[in-house]
Structure 1
Amino acid sequence: MKFNFKIPKEQDSLQIATWKYENEYSFYSNDKTKEKQEWALNIHTEEDAFTIFDESDKLVGHCSFDDEDGEIILGLQMKPSFTGQGNGHEFVKAVLDFGKKKYDYNKISLYVAKFNKRAIKVYEKLGFYKIDDFTWDIYDEEIEFFVMEKCY
């Protein structure tokens, strides 16, 4: 599958803000809190954020490459209907290839909830390894995360 990365438009943000996930993955739903929905509605205003479209020009995800004191932190989200179908490896690889070409980083990190075994498996297959863990108080819940890193 080929993916096309674009600068987000307001209509993309409006669509992304409606994304809801099932079961434990509902943690990632973009309507989980007012703050999360506000963030999703404003993706088109973020610097270093991109929407991701499939070959049929359907929105299937978005990503961002945030520079925090020289460290690139990857954020990404797949459309709920696109998850759980074996698309993760190809999707994340495309994001990494796009980011490497655009930003030429030597190392990239991401945060992933410890319960998200599907994503962790994909990240490890693509060369990420766990370097730390932490607990984050999100939505009045204590959620455990891994920090994962990939070096080139």
Structure 2
Amino acid sequence: MLLFVKKMTEKYAVDALCWKYEKPYDFYNNVLSGSAIVELLTCKYFAVVNDKNQLVGYFCIGKSAQIPSGDQKGIYSDDCIDVGIAMRPELTGKGNGYHFFSYILKYIMELDKEKDIRLTVATFNQRAIHLYEKLGFVKQRKFKHDNIEYLLMKKEING
């Protein structure tokens, strides 16, 4: 599957916000609202599309990829590029994640070849954690936010 990074548009944002994941991944379901659309359009969110210009997934970098209480706990004190990803529900659990996230990582590393890449994942999401480990991410530490346990993982770029 050929992938391309595009600017997030209102069409892509509405499409992504309407995705519905099966349990237990329904934790990642969003609510379509004006404020959610504005966040996807004004923060550092990028659409990932296929060669037919269909939305395959999206990613965000920076603050948008962090859990809000993490700053207060000093979780994000290192100077890294934070990344968060989402893939169309119909494509998950079918071996597409490696190609999808590899493409995103390559794109991010072209933006900054020096900084390590960090992500935060809910600890119940063992499928994602396994993927991240295959791509070179290492478990750093766990923390809780709103009774959900999260895992911080980092990929060293020049380590």
Using the size of structure 2 for normalisation, the TM-score is: 0.83
Identity of aligned residues (%): 35
Distance 2:92 2:35 in 1: 21
Matched, 1:57 2:49: no
Residue of 130, 145, 148 corresponding to 2:150: 145
2:139 and 2:153 in contact (8 A); partners too = yes
Q: Please, which runs of 5 or more residues in structure 2 have no aligned partner? A: 64-75
Residue of 113, 125, 130 corresponding to 2:139: 130
1:16 and 1:40 in contact (8 A); partners too = no
* Structure with more strand by fraction: 1
The residue identity in structure 2 corresponding to 1:151 is E
Distance 1:20 1:38 in 2: 18
The residue identity in structure 1 corresponding to 2:55 is L
SS of residue paired to 2:62 = strand
- State the 4+ residue runs in structure 1 displaced beyond 2 angstroms: 37-40, 67-71, 103-106
| Equivalent residues in 2 for 1:95-106, closer than 5 Å | 95-106=104-115
Aligned to 1:45: 42
Aligned to 2:25: 25
- The Cα shift of 1:38 comes to 5.2
The residue identity in structure 1 corresponding to 2:37 is L
Aligned-pair RMSD on alpha carbons?
Answer: 1.7
Q: Please, which runs of 5 or more residues in structure 1 have no aligned partner? A: none
